[in-house]
Structure 1
Amino acid sequence: MNVMLPSVTNVFSIMLNNDNHPTIMKEDGVMLILLCSHCNCPESFDLFVFALNWIPGFCASSRQPTLKPFEKFTIHGLWPSFEDSTRDPPRQQITQLNLNEISPIVHELEQKWPSVVISKGNKWFWNYEWTKHGTAAASVAETRGQLNYFKKAIELYDSLAVILWLDSAGIIPSNITFYDLSKVIDAVEGNFGYKTRFRCYYTSMDTSYLIEIKFCFTKNFQRPHYVEDADGSNPAHSLAARVGGKDPQKNAIEKFLHNFNDGQIFALIGIGLGFNHIRNYCFNSFGLSILIFSLCTQFALLLHNVFMQNNHIFIGIEEIMWAQKISIAVIVSIGSFHGKCNPLQIIIASLIEVPILMANKYIGFKIMKVADIGGGIHLYLFAAHFGLGISTMFWKYNDSRKRKLTSDNCSELGMLISIVLMYGLWPGLNAAFSRGDKKHRIVVNTYLSICSACVMAFAVSSLSDRKNRFTIKHLHIAVIGGAVSVSSVADMMITPYFALLIGLVSALSSLLFFIFVKSAIGIPGILAGFASAIFAYISSEKQYGYSLFQIFVARAPTANSSDLHEILSYLPDISAGEGRTNYQQFICQIAYVGVTLLIAILGGCLTGLIIRQPFFEPLKSEDLFEDNVNWVLPSEEEEYFGNESYCDIESSMDTEMNLQSLKLPQQRNGKRKNENYRDSN
């Protein structure tokens, strides 16, 4: 869907199909917004609608003589309205406009609220708006009286710099340039912070002229805090679907709730238990993952809107799921330096990582326009090397510290549960934001890759042991490798055979690195990057059809090209691209792997240098990989207090100082201190 924003010699022209965007609907050429708070007073009104005219479009659609059009949005009106829009609010007291009362702002009104129709001047226009709408707004203090009503309209006009919003998105008035409609909508709604509606003049099935944009405000001129699907003040949620309301089954929560739940379980249990393999560090590895996930999800929600260039915060199920993925990557990162840092250092490192990770994601998707549906590059490759960069800034292992890195049956069982959860949840997590055949391919390719990786893990693990036994750590590494390595190409036509091959290669290479180099960090992410480049190079329109441009958005034809117009007639949601060749896309995919590695390693090293400073109180050598430094363990409570209450112990000590009633503290190795205590008597 394309948009043209011509100069004054033409009009704002929209290539529009009414089924293409859920916020656009044609009803006698009028588009309404009904998105504000309820009011219980039946004699009052529910909301304000603030309307701006696009002068070139209005002049083109008007049947009456108009002034010479100029490139500008001007005020059409500030209208108290009911949610159902079937009637006008009652007027408190009908009075004619008094120019003397509004004289302090007449000059501003002439510039921002002019009448374009020649036969009806400014005074007539202002008087009409006042008598019809202004008198109905008297119940609100900010719009009570003629001067307050018009001043408030000017204040709202000044706060809605629509031309600047469009200009910042690269949308400039032109007679020949077309713009994607979704970009126009994003530019306006991203800055306003909520949904808007357009009033258009339709000249044909495919073309329309923008006449008006309508914005909604509550009666106290506030904007809602939730996305539209979660906003209870949206009247569409108060009407049955058969009478024009929104079908609850089409709410975003119905589409994404199961994916949301999968993401929570995957992050908190699947990833958390995966770090639970060190015997004396189970509480820290699992417990701190919950803290970091909760903290980073909130931080990522805020930054997501910054990097999406929104002036307001959107909170909804989709935004939370994006924040989930960021938090999962952060948890993966801290796995590289678990046990080497105290909780404060981990928190600081996580808060530093989130904006760096999101900046890297912005570079990949908005600037380089790479394909990375499952985050193999921008999430997991980044996370692995960011954590590695931090880890290198801390101590290196010696023999005494290596003895702490042992596991027991309980910790190994936790890792096995982690493997099962990741095995089952990862395919759906990769496909969370996809639909149709694309979603189908993602699930199939991810699942096959994990299956083949598991088989390879059992084979390699058996061959690497003298007694042909299996190692749970090997299986854990293989499952992660199989899922991550295919995640960047899961939506591509890689065929099931290559999905299986990717899993095999990833598991084999990761396990060989782990067995001989003692580390497999980042190997699956690098494989994901190279796989995405290879399949980007061999992909073609013959293989994918027009859906190729949904996967590789930069390969779509450029704006205003005849090829793009042809594609839009079949897939209207395709955006104008750069006309990249498969070779250029290959270079971009490879380059993004290098950019991600550079940003992650440098960012990790710099973060490590920051958090190792003395004022963060780094852990001492004897406190590394120990739970009891940060957690009160159940065994400690039993050791110090036994089965007696504190009061019982205190009483006993007061009477005869009976030290025999206390259990002696134990050392960390589980043996009692070998000290001699004498009776106080």
Structure 2
Amino acid sequence: MVNWKRYKFSLFAFTLEIVFIILFGVLAEYDEPAKPTNKNLTSPVPNRYPMFQDVHVMIFVGFGFLMTFLKRYGYSAVGVNLLIAAFAIQWAFLVRGVIHEVTHGEKIHITLLEMLSADFASATVLISFGAVLGKTSALQLLVMALIEVVLAQINEYIGLDKIGGVDVGESMYIHAFGAYFGLAVARVLYTEDIEDSKGEGTVYHSDLFSMIGTIFLWLFWPSFNGGAADDDEQYRAVINTYLSLCACTVVTFALSAVVDKKGRVEMVHIQNATLAGGVAVGTSANMPLHPWGALLAGSVAGVISVLGYKFLTPMMAKKLRIHDTCGVHNLHGMPGVLAGIVGAVAAAMASEATWGQSYYEIFGKVIPMDNTTELADVMSSYSFIEKGGDGRSALQQGGFQMLALLVTLCIAILGGILTGFLLKLPIFNAPKKGHLFDDQDFWVVQQDGFPQIEVDDMNETHNETKMVLIEH
């Protein structure tokens, strides 16, 4: 008799990849400069590809190695990260293409900018992956990615196109969304077995591997925040992110030593909280924050992230039954909310007098409405403006920025809850006690050098592993 549980993951993955191939064949085509018949068009590769490649490294190396801190889950941290990202990228092309192009009667164009957006979409899922790391099967994670990419892209469409909430570094639409979606899933999937599991934990070398991910993310984060921007906005995004990360790192080290009774630095803070500065300026990265403003935002992010790891994460697990494996609430959730607030305040305080042309470039909705003398005056000063906007005031734009953040949180939390209940269905092979935080449930693992846990903590389905332990 065929054991269908054994083949469900492979069947699901094969089927979806075949569907992707068919849909790409029907709906997608190369960007115009990539077509062999358009030799005279300029390729965007020299200008756009370097920053895309930085983001690509963040997705596959940075996120993957950041999650290798678990002593018995390193294969899954890096390997399943690779699987989810490769899956989500393809799915994001299709979802975004349907929203922005197919519904307007066009083909889906595979452009470098859309490649960057697809990587961003995969980052949303990988952030959620951090909240449920070690507690979900590969099949569950593919289903989660299938749902989350759709919800995240719909949310971004509502936030950017309908509400007009600007977010160049996607701190609201990626980091906050991914964190709170993942936390909602984690809450629904919570069981007492998670807290009782002896598989969760770190060892010296696993923490060291995790720092590899931290360093890659830290180095390339300016490209993440500035990759979708151009000209002076991109320049500011790089500078603001660079300064915010530096300030955040210093504050993280200092505060980590303060909250420890013996004045020592906690590695989990350095692995994660040092990156919160990149999230904190994501929404406002292309805005003229001034260097001191970027340093301040990074410093505040470092404070809330370290305090979150020290006090809030244990409280959430104990009181709210939300087990956040990687602490995504502290690295992505709260700093993402902070970024939305910083962006709203910056928007409310902005003006043409202080920002010049950037005021209208960044906030297209503040352009005066059509058929008004105000629009005629603005168009005479700025030739790039071709049509009217919504005529918002700066204060109104700040309010809409906050609305975009609130809508993001609502869609993320509600979507995560519903997804969590779906993933609880037995068909998706949720790992049981004894398999939590353990690579052996999905991978062929070499026992030599693999950290062992108490045999009594494993359930009867680990009989093969028990025999290996006894022989050793």
Q: What's the TM-score once normalised by structure 2's chain length?
A: 0.83
Partner of 1:229: 33
Q: Answer whether contact 1:377 1:596 (CA < 8 A) is retained.
A: yes
Partner of 1:613: 425
Partner of 2:285: 490
Q: Whose strand proportion is higher, 1 or 2?
A: 1
* Residue-pair matches, total: 415
CA distance in 2, matches of 1:260, 1:294: 15
Q: Does 1:623 align with 2:435?
A: yes
Q: Answer whether contact 1:227 1:315 (CA < 8 A) is retained.
A: yes
How far apart are residue 570 of structure 1 and its match? 4.1
Structure 1 residues without counterparts, runs of 5 or longer: 1-221, 238-244, 639-663, 675-681
How far apart are residue 347 of structure 1 and its match? 0.3
Partner of 1:526: 337
CA distance in 2, matches of 1:525, 1:256: 25
Structure 2 residues without counterparts, runs of 5 or longer: 1-25, 314-326, 451-462
How far apart are residue 229 of structure 1 and its match? 1.1
Amino acid at match of 1:617: N
DSSP 3-state at the match of 1:314: strand
CA distance in 2, matches of 1:617, 1:487: 37
CA distance in 2, matches of 1:224, 1:419: 35
Q: Does 1:672 align with 2:461?
A: no
DSSP 3-state at the match of 1:487: coil
Amino acid at match of 1:369: G
How far apart are residue 417 of structure 1 and its match? 1.1
Partner of 2:318: none
Partner of 1:583: 395
Amino acid at match of 2:35: D
Partner of 1:382: 177
Partner of 1:98: none
Q: Answer whether contact 1:666 1:673 (CA < 8 A) is retained.
A: no
1:393 equivalent among 182, 185, 188? 188
Partner of 1:187: none
DSSP 3-state at the match of 2:434: helix
Partner of 1:573: 384
Partner of 1:299: 91
Q: Deviations over 1:286-339 (max 9, x none)?
A: 110100100110011111111114331111222111111111111111111111
Q: Does 1:448 align with 2:240?
A: no
Q: Does 1:405 align with 2:200?
A: yes
Partner of 2:142: 347
Partner of 2:456: none
Q: Answer whether contact 1:352 1:607 (CA < 8 A) is retained.
A: yes
Q: Answer whether contact 2:28 2:110 (CA < 8 A) is retained.
A: no
How far apart are residue 395 of structure 1 and its match? 2.3
How far apart are residue 619 of structure 1 and its match? 1.3
Which aligned segments of 4 or more residues in structure 1 are displaced greater than 6 angstroms? none
Q: Answer whether contact 2:193 2:433 (CA < 8 A) is retained.
A: no
**Aligned Cα RMSD in Å?**
2.3
Q: Deviations over 1:374-401 (max 9, x none)?
A: 0011111000000011101112456863
CA distance in 1, matches of 2:304, 2:281: 14
Moved more, 224-233 or 439-448: 224-233
| 1:656-667 paired onto structure 2 within 5 Å | 667=466
Pick closer, same or farther for the CA change 1:543–1:407 going to 2, 3 Å.
same
Q: Does 1:280 align with 2:75?
A: no
Amino acid at match of 2:30: Y
Q: Answer whether contact 2:197 2:434 (CA < 8 A) is retained.
A: no
CA distance in 2, matches of 1:630, 1:398: 19
CA distance in 1, matches of 2:305, 2:112: 35
How far apart are residue 478 of structure 1 and its match? 1.6
Amino acid at match of 1:460: L
Q: Deviations over 1:123-153 (max 9, x none)?
A: xxxxxxxxxxxxxxxxxxxxxxxxxxxxxxx
Q: Answer whether contact 1:450 1:479 (CA < 8 A) is retained.
A: yes
Percent of pairs with identical residues = 30
CA distance in 2, matches of 1:454, 1:223: 45
Q: Does 1:547 align with 2:358?
A: yes
1:320 equivalent among 98, 101, 115? 115
Amino acid at match of 1:230: A
Partner of 2:81: 289
Partner of 1:633: 445
